[in-house]
């Protein structure tokens, strides 16, 4: 693990802090930028009405190796599949099937809650972690604050396409300059309330880009030096802050 410059993290936090901006009890952060008028404006941007998935399949070939990450991939099991009843009886005619899924919150596509990370004992907006995160779950800054959904204008920075590639190799870094170049090439400008997604496409597996192969979907250590990665992260934070994006995400496919 690289050594984290906590003094630098604290300085950046003070520089870009939103604590108190939406009140002392706020637990949504920059999602407050998604106001009704911005949702309405986003709806007018729809041209084709076609949806497509950017999600990672929720199955045993997920991104984790329990030996290195301490996380397991989704576990799927059929609890009924032969058309029998819960007692194992066959009645004929009408039948059904059921299954179950055991999944860690970081084992597939997900949205981080503000309770996920903290430093110096404080979560977003000054909520102390002893009161906010317990064995029962997150009492403050939980993902339930997004229960109504996140609907807003979204922009996708398709980095592989910009580079003329099908996918980015594992460990490839994407800095703010390239991100801005991708958006500028398409004439896209982030606005307050926008959800900004950095596209990286599937990593290669079995000789081709694939989200169905374990090798293609499991992560690998970044090849970028720790110092340069940290510097790039800080620059990304500083350059994203003026645009007031409501969320920053990355694609899995």
Residue 233 placed within a domain: yes
Number of structural domains (the chain) is: 1
Q: Which residue has the higher pLDDT, 26 or 226?
A: 26
Q: For residue 157, report the phi and psi dihedrals to the nearest 5 degrees.
A: -90, 100
Per-residue model confidence as pLDDT tens digits over 126-141:
999 999 999 999 999 9
Q: Which residue has the higher pLDDT, 81 or 239?
A: 81
End-to-end alpha-carbon separation of the chain, Å?
27
Residue 201 placed within a domain: yes
Residue 215 placed within a domain: yes
Residue 97 placed within a domain: no
CB 138 within 8 A of CB 115: yes
Residue 90 placed within a domain: no
| Rounded mean pLDDT, 57-63 | 82
Per-residue model confidence as pLDDT tens digits over 100-109:
999 888 888 8
Q: Which residue has the higher pLDDT, 96 or 75?
A: 75
Residue 86 has pLDDT above 80, yes or no: no
Per-residue model confidence as pLDDT tens digits over 156-213:
888 999 999 988 887 788 888 888 899 999 998 888 888 888 876 554 443 334 444 5
Residue 91 placed within a domain: no
> What's the confidence (pLDDT) of residue 236?
76
Query: Rounded to an integer, what distance in angstroms lies between the CA atom of residue 241 and that of residue 222?
Result: 25
**Which pTM value belongs to this model?**
0.77
Q: Which two tokens stand for residue 230?
A: 């940290």
Query: Rounded to an integer, what distance in angstroms lies between the CA atom of residue 1 and that of residue 230?
Result: 12
Residue 1 placed within a domain: no
Residue 125 placed within a domain: yes
Q: Which domain holds residue 178?
A: 6-69+105-250
């Amino acid at each position: 693990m690289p050594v984290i410059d906590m003094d630098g993290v604290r300085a950046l936090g003070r520089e870009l802090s939103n604590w108190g901006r939406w009140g002392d009890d706020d637990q949504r952060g920059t999602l407050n930028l998604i106001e009704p008028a911005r949702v309405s404006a986003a709806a007018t941007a729809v041209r084709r009405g076609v949806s497509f998935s950017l999600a990672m399949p929720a199955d045993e070939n997920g991104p984790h190796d329990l030996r290195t990450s301490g996380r397991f991939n989704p576990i799927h099991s059929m609890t009924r599949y032969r058309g029998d009843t819960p007692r194992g009886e066959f009645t004929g005619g009408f039948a059904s099937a059921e299954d179950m899924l055991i999944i860690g919150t970081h084992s597939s596509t997900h949205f981080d809650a503000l309770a996920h990370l903290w430093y110096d004992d404080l979560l977003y907006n000054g909520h102390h972690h002893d009161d906010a995160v317990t064995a029962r779950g997150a009492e403050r800054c939980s993902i339930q604050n997004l229960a109504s959904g996140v609907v807003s204008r979204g922009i996708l920075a398709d980095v592989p396409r910009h580079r003329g590639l099908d996918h980015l190799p594992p460990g490839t870094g994407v800095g703010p300059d390239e991100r801005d170049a991708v958006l500028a090439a398409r004439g896209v400008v982030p606005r307050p309330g926008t959800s900004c997604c950095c596209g990286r496409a599937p990593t290669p597996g079995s000789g081709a880009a694939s989200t169905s192969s374990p090798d293609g979907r499991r992560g690998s250590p970044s090849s970028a030096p720790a110092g340069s990665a940290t510097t790039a992260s800080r620059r990304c934070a500083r350059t994203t802050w003026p645009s007031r994006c409501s969320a920053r995400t990355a694609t899995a496919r």
